[in-house]
Structure 1
């Protein structure tokens, strides 16, 4: 049955000679995978593969059948063409990291409009930010944890859980203050920390996710992100 839904692209893999399988977090159906035919063909009109880059927001017409792992995509167009995220190294590195973390943590195959709105608003904030977004990925993960059910109530609880799992996290005053802002203030609230503290907090937040997400595995985009932001 043909259905309309909005979605956010997380990743894709090549499928056969000219097609792809794209993973999308949809507003109506949660996490879904779609076959997109002939998107890599030299005869396809325009640069259709650009529609399936990480964090691209789409309006889609899909063939949806409950209890199937793989669906077909009939039509897709972007709701908001990204002008900065794909072309600015810092933003594109954050986008790859965010999309990989979302791929590894979003499991439900049911709609969650509140989560979808959060993701959409987060992408738009990153896209439109002209400065002061160097901590965005850290704050994003802590806000996302609220939707996943394991957000810490305070910086001290965050530190306590890490210590209980033998993670050597000993933040200084600037790191503790930054954590408090990331947890309590709206996403995008400016926080001034140096590169060393930023790297320390990023590693601690990923470790915190490992405590709560079984089988999180290697985060392949993390070394690239560290290098770009160093």
Structure 2
């Protein structure tokens, strides 16, 4: 059955000599894996670019309930980014978003509110008026709420983890920063320094690993820490 949907590419891996297997979080159908044959053959490089992580797509797909690998009939970019592909900091953050979301959801997981949040986050990241200093932290805090395990209060964040990597004198700073992120999201204008931001980033990723019961390392964290202004 053919269905129309919006989708956000989370990952693409090479399959055999010319094909790709792509994981796409679709708004209407949830997280699906699609096999795209011949997309990497000579003369089709421009089409392969459609499936870069975090690309926003309009799709017509074949939906077969009995199949773990679906197929795509039509795909086109729904919103071409102006900054993300050409700004190393923004593209690094987009890769980080793809990794976090890819670990947090599972096959066929469907959540229109989460999809809309991801789409809105990408649009915001692509604006030159956005302050990206707090972006990855705001993203983690807000996405955790859409996933159902994000606390509403800063104290709850600090109470739920098995370990706190902060010195005693840093905890009030971390708490006030979390309060700003929870209340203001991407509009956060906190003046906390790079050390507190990096410590909280590491802490939030550990929090995600505990909640998702996924101890595998975060591949993009090293690059992201270097990109944080």
Q: How far off is 1:172 after superposition?
A: 4.2
More helix per residue: 1 or 2? 2
Partner of 2:166: 169
Query: Relative to structure 2, which stretch is displaced further, 185-194 or 5-14?
Result: 185-194
Residue 32 (str. 1) matches residue 32 (str. 2): yes
**Alpha carbons of structure 1 residues 211 and 110: separation in structure 2 relative to 1, 3 Å:** closer
Partner of 1:147: 146
Mind listing any 5+ residue stretches in structure 1 that lack a counterpart? Answer: none
Q: TM-score, normalised by structure 1?
A: 0.92
Partner of 1:102: 101
Partner of 1:15: 15
CA distance in 2, matches of 1:106, 1:22: 15
Q: C-alpha deviations, 1:172-194, integer Å up to 9, x for none?
A: 44332221011122433322222
| SS class of match (2:4) | strand
Q: How far off is 1:157 after superposition?
A: 1.2
**Alpha carbons of structure 1 residues 110 and 100: separation in structure 2 relative to 1, 3 Å:** closer
Partner of 1:130: 129
Kindly indicate whether the alpha-carbon contact (under 8 Å) linking 2:138 and 2:185 is maintained by their aligned counterparts in 1: no
Count of aligned pairs between the two proteins: 227
Kindly indicate whether the alpha-carbon contact (under 8 Å) linking 1:159 and 1:169 is maintained by their aligned counterparts in 2: no
Q: How far off is 1:108 after superposition?
A: 5.3
CA distance in 2, matches of 1:92, 1:85: 5
Partner of 2:156: 157
Residue 211 (str. 1) matches residue 210 (str. 2): yes
CA distance in 2, matches of 1:223, 1:167: 20
CA distance in 2, matches of 1:130, 1:87: 16
Query: Relative to structure 2, which stretch is displaced further, 7-16 or 128-137?
Result: 128-137
How large is the RMSD of aligned CA atoms in angstroms? 1.7
CA distance in 1, matches of 2:191, 2:75: 40
Residue 91 (str. 1) matches residue 90 (str. 2): yes
Runs (4+) of structure 1 moved beyond 3 Å?
169-174
Partner of 1:194: 193
Query: Relative to structure 2, which stretch is displaced further, 125-134 or 18-27?
Result: 125-134
Kindly indicate whether the alpha-carbon contact (under 8 Å) linking 1:28 and 1:110 is maintained by their aligned counterparts in 2: no
CA distance in 1, matches of 2:93, 2:66: 33
Partner of 2:177: 178
CA distance in 1, matches of 2:153, 2:147: 16
